[in-house]
């Protein structure tokens, strides 16, 4: 069964067309009315489904007739998280996507966005949780906001690991802190799950792809894959 999936974020909308669990087409748009009209023109015969981190699917509903994806049971994974009502939509969708892609392996999903999340789904489809920490730009902003003299920096990957200026020292602090954190998290999960698969998504995923010396599966559309897996499972 073909369907369209919309992931409505704060700054952009990602969309994909699926035939069952197979992705046929995908894209990214600003989310203006004309964008939705273009989707309707190209794929108006599909049933569309939407999910949003900002609870705003008005255009998707009015211009595509889209239905909201309800992130409640039944789900393709079993939630063992102690506070499921506080669980972010993207985190849940991402682990559902990981389990669909690698159903025979435990998966660690690293989502590098505003915050960096590390989430596990085991080979049996159980989701116990993970961790949340500040993302790359959030760390730079925090140093500026909570000190008197450190300036706000734009991210640039520094070359040498010794910062030779205040700017480079701040950039190195963020860089080495993020790499060290990710490597430590991966070691912890690999020690418990030797056949672990690592999946990477999010706007800053390129940073980790560049600096982590691991076999990592880049999955830029992991949330869309997971949202589709959820809707497929419900049908």
pLDDT in tens, 1-18: 899 999 998 778 999 999
The answer to whether the beta carbons of residues 110 and 118 sit under 8 Å apart is yes
Contacts for 127 with CB less than 8 Å, ≥ 6 apart = 77, 78, 79, 80, 81, 92, 95, 119, 120, 121
CB atoms within 10 A of CB 56: 12
Task: Decide: residue 82, CB within 10 A, 0-12 exposed, 13-18 middle, 19+ buried.
Answer: exposed
pLDDT of 12 reads 86
pLDDT of 70 reads 86
pLDDT of 235 reads 79
119 is known as an active-site residue: no
Query: 136-145 and 166-192 helices cross at what angle (nearest 10)?
Result: 130
- Which of these, 186, 196, 226, 185, lies nearest to 106 by C-alpha position? 196
Bridge partner residues of 26 (DSSP): 16
pLDDT of 234 reads 84
| Spans of the chain below 70 pLDDT | 55
The answer to whether the beta carbons of residues 36 and 42 sit under 8 Å apart is no
Active-site residue identified among 7, 35, 90, 122? 90
DSSP state of 7: E
pLDDT of 151 reads 96
pLDDT of 31 reads 87
């Amino acid at each position: 069964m073909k369907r369209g999936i919309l992931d409505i974020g704060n700054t952009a909308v990602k969309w994909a067309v699926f035939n069952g669990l197979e992705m046929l087409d995908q894209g990214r748009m600003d989310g203006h009315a004309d964008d939705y009209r273009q989707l309707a023109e190209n794929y108006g015969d599909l049933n569309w489904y939407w999910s949003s981190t900002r609870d705003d699917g008005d255009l998707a509903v009015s211009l595509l007739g889209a239905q909201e994806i309800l992130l409640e049971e039944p789900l393709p994974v079993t939630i063992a998280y102690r506070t499921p009502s506080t669980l972010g939509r993207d985190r849940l969708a991402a682990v559902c996507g990981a389990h669909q892609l690698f159903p025979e392996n435990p998966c660690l999903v690293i989502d590098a966005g505003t915050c960096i999340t590390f989430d596990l789904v085991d080979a049996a489809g159980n989701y116990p949780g993970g961790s949340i920490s500040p993302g790359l730009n959030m760390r730079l902003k925090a140093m500026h906001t909570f000190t008197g003299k450190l300036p706000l920096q734009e991210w640039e990957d520094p070359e040498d690991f010794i910062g030779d200026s205040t700017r480079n020292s701040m950039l190195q602090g963020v860089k080495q802190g993020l790499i060290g954190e990710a490597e430590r998290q991966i070691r912890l999960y690999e020690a418990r799950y030797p056949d672990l698969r690592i999946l990477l998504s999010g706007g800053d995923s390129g940073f980790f792809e560049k600096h982590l010396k691991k076999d990592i599966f880049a999955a830029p559309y992991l949330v869309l894959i997971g949202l589709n897996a959820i809707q497929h499972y419900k049908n």
